[in-house]
Chain A
Amino acid sequence: MNWGGIVENALRAAVGDFAAVFALAAIGLNVHFGYTGLLNFGQVGFMAVGAYGIAVAVTYLGLSMWVGLAVGLGASVVLALLLGLPTLRLRADYLAIVTIAAAEIIRLTFRSVSLRRYTGGSSGLTRFADEFYAVNPLSRGDYGFGPFVFSHRQTWVLVVAWLTVAVVSVMVLVLMRSPWGRVLKSIREDEEAARSLGKNVYWYKMQSLAFGGIIGSLAGFVLAISTQSVQPDTYSSAVTFFAYVVLILGGTARVLGPVVGSMIFWMLLSLTDNVLRAAVREGHIPAAIMSGVQVGQVRFMLVGLGLILLLVYRSQGIFGDRREIELDVR
């Protein structure tokens, strides 16, 4: 087994585009779940409207990709309003059901044949981010050091993606220390208390949902641009579950929790994936027990198992503070 290559791949995965995408998605969830106590299980819906915002604006409307970014951001705010309106007055578990349903509605709508002209149906849309690569200041060639060597295109995507992560993290840090952020935390701790102090809890929750949703759509941007394609089935509920694992692994209600969580998460997934694949290929695991196809399925089992074990044994994750996450709905 080529351990050097496996470790190298794992290290690359830790700084790869997926790690950045899920860091952003989980930062958004952190605003919702970690700071405000909103149980949003439809984060992937925000990612999808962001990604399709660019793709449809460029390929169907013929707009510039930079305008497409604004379309995606606007769509995520609209989605937050639509979701929040009926559910934010209700208990947390209702929000969970409605958001997961909304994310599914979005996926099914985007893949429907009747909207094929706009969204490309189940095959999606491609090649709408040329403008992003056109402004790449790096000249052709490879960049990086040690195992972290990427082509100029990849490097450009990664630099922009991680810069976005950094800027958003600083924003969250500043906002959560502001009076606004303290109101959000007080809503998480005791909604009634916040209300009795004259705060408009409903409106604050709505702002939190929109803010976290915008961050989610940034994750969608990065994913869509780095792959130059959108496909409806990329945006299935499993993505939200992955983002939750990332968030809880790193530690909820911590600014760097989602970022570190995402890097560790993708490193671990790459490690297990590659080790299992190599073991199957070299016959350490008999084919009757596991085939090459089944290795990909093990990933989902591990994520599910990880979610259970984390919540049972270490719900504060790596950085979290147990006192900050004792949420309850009743």
Chain B
Amino acid sequence: MHLRILAVLATALFLSMVPGVPAAAQESGGGEESVRGTITDGDGEPVEGVDIIVETLDGEEVGVATTGPDGSYELELPGPGEYRATIDQETLDELELELRNPDRATLEFPVRPGQSRPLLFPLGESTRSISGTFVRALQLLVEGVKFGLIIAMCAVGLSLIFGTTGLVNFAHGELVTFGALAAWIANVLLGLHFVPATVVGVLAGGLAGAALDKGLWRPLRRRGTGLIALLVISIGLGLLVRYIFLYQFGGRTRPYAQYVAQRAISLGPITIAPKDIVSILVSLAVLAAVGIALQRTQAGKAMRAVADNPDLASSSGIDVERVILLVWAFGGGLAALGGTLLGLTEQVSWQMGYQLLLLMFAGVILGGLGTAYGALVGSFVVGVFLQTSTLVISPELKNVGALLILILILLVRPQGILGQAERVG
């Protein structure tokens, strides 16, 4: 049993040493960093002749980019680091245009090695008229729905794993990243189309989940390791795996081979890219299937039974260990799918899952820790809240808002929306 844990860790280390994605070369590559973007007016028409001034945070000017006839601009940067870009108010005044949000005439942003950083300076009615706000709210709502569904998919496993084993899995974000990376390798390195590559990613995520349970968590449970120790181990595992990803994959974000830039289509008052519609539909279908499977199939019923009360489930003839293995495989697969869909909109990076982890926790706690449906509802609410909150607060603070909700909900209703009121302290 000791040997098995060691074997898992040795495998992890071995994997980290295998030369994978040409990570070594790309870091020193340099010279590829740039900022780019397109300036369009409120009606979506490109605007020519707007200056964007880019400087380092110390105030040293890097250069000025001017938009071309198609409204686009690009400026090479000397290297990765922190930069500040300001849209030139004078050139805007000449064209009688204004920023939709005058507070965001200056943007500060980090640029990773090799990154071509897109910048957004939305123009249009700066007087936030009622109809404008309404349309924007609708647009954000749709984005929120998409994001919420993705969080929900990732979080179902997190909640079920907690319910069945009591483990608060701080390494769950790494399952999300793993799925997205596996799909990226199949898609870009092996040349598979994105759709079969997603299937590969999901299978890999499910296998990884099952392997983690069989190789690490089950032996630890058998030893009777305490839940707090397990929690800390999951933090260590997350850190180890996250940096193996960075080591192998490098620090830059990478897109999938297909569906990178899609022209958004108008759908009534809102605009949306077709891939986002597909993402929403796929998420809805998968989550509905998950709901039905949990409700109707024998395996699903067994999962809920074990999550409800492991001892009782065991004494009514359910093979608890088998169910837990199933939960890990199932949770890993769903997390991988969530990661792939997230990578479709936000590209793939080594810490995409970790950045999602706290939002997953927020969703799971909001819905009720340990329940499957609670995780769905809670995560959905978090996603929608996160996006729509940018109506009133600056987008860089939207995560702060979501995490504050997490703390507030614990104050008012610690068992969550769908959780049963029980003593948790």
Contact = CB atoms under 8 A, between A and B. Distances in A.
Interface of A: 39, 41, 85-94, 96-98, 100-102, 104-105, 108-109, 112-114, 121-123, 238, 241, 244, 248, 287-291, 293-294, 297-298, 300-301, 303-309, 311-313, 315, 326-330
B250 to A, nearest CB: 9
Question: Which has the most chain B C-beta neighbours within 10 Å: A93, A112, A114, A288?
Answer: A93
B9 A123 contact: no
A213 to B, nearest CB: 16
Interface string B171-211: 00000000000000000000000000000000000000000
B312 interface: no
A161 to B, nearest CB: 26
Contact of B425 (A90, A97, A105, A238): A90
A291 B17 contact: no
B233 A308 contact: yes
A108 B410 contact: no
A304 B241 CA distance: 8
A329 B231 CA distance: 11
B294 to A, nearest CB: 23
B239 interface: yes
A117 B279 CA distance: 40
B243 to A, nearest CB: 4
Given A90-B425, A122-B110, A298-B247, A109 B236 contact: no
A77 B220 CA distance: 37
A87 B244 CA distance: 33
Nearest to B216: A308
Interface residues of B, number: 59
B400 A108 contact: yes
B168 A96 contact: yes
Nearest to A310: B236
Given A91-B425, A104-B358, A311-B233, A97 B168 contact: yes
Interface in B1-41: 2, 5, 9, 13, 16-17, 19, 23-24, 27-28
Contacts of A93: 168, 227-228, 231
B235 A86 contact: no
A326 B228 CA distance: 9
B28 A311 contact: no
Nearest to B236: A307
A291 B24 contact: yes
Contacts of A329: 166, 226-228
Given A89-B425, A105-B404, A304-B241, 11 more contacts: A86-B410, A93-B228, A104-B399, A114-B397, A297-B246, A301-B244, A304-B239, A307-B232, A326-B226, A328-B227, A329-B228
Question: Chain A interface secondary structure, helix, strand, loop or mixed?
Answer: helix
10 contacts: A86-B411, A93-B227, A96-B168, A101-B358, A105-B404, A289-B17, A291-B28, A300-B242, A304-B238, A312-B5
Contacts, number: 169
B27 A300 contact: no
Contacts of A86: 407-408, 410-411
A328 B230 CA distance: 10
Contact of B231 (A39, A90, A121, A301): A39
Contacts of B394: 112-114
A330 B168 CA distance: 13
Nearest to A233: B110
B365 interface: yes
Given A294-B24, A297-B243, A308-B9, A288 B108 contact: no
A90 B410 contact: yes
A282 B408 CA distance: 55
Interface in B215-234: 220, 225-229, 231-233
Question: Which has the most chain B C-beta neighbours within 10 Å: A114, A308, A328?
Answer: A308
B361 A301 contact: no
Question: Which has the most chain B C-beta neighbours within 10 Å: A105, A303, A315, A330?
Answer: A105
Contacts of B261: none
Contacts of A102: 403, 407
Contact of B403 (A101, A123, A308): A101
B229 A311 contact: yes
B139 to A, nearest CB: 23
B361 A97 contact: yes
Contacts of A300: 239-240, 242-243
A271 to B, nearest CB: 18
A90 B9 contact: no
Nearest to A94: B410
Contacts of A241: 235-236, 239
A119 B169 CA distance: 34
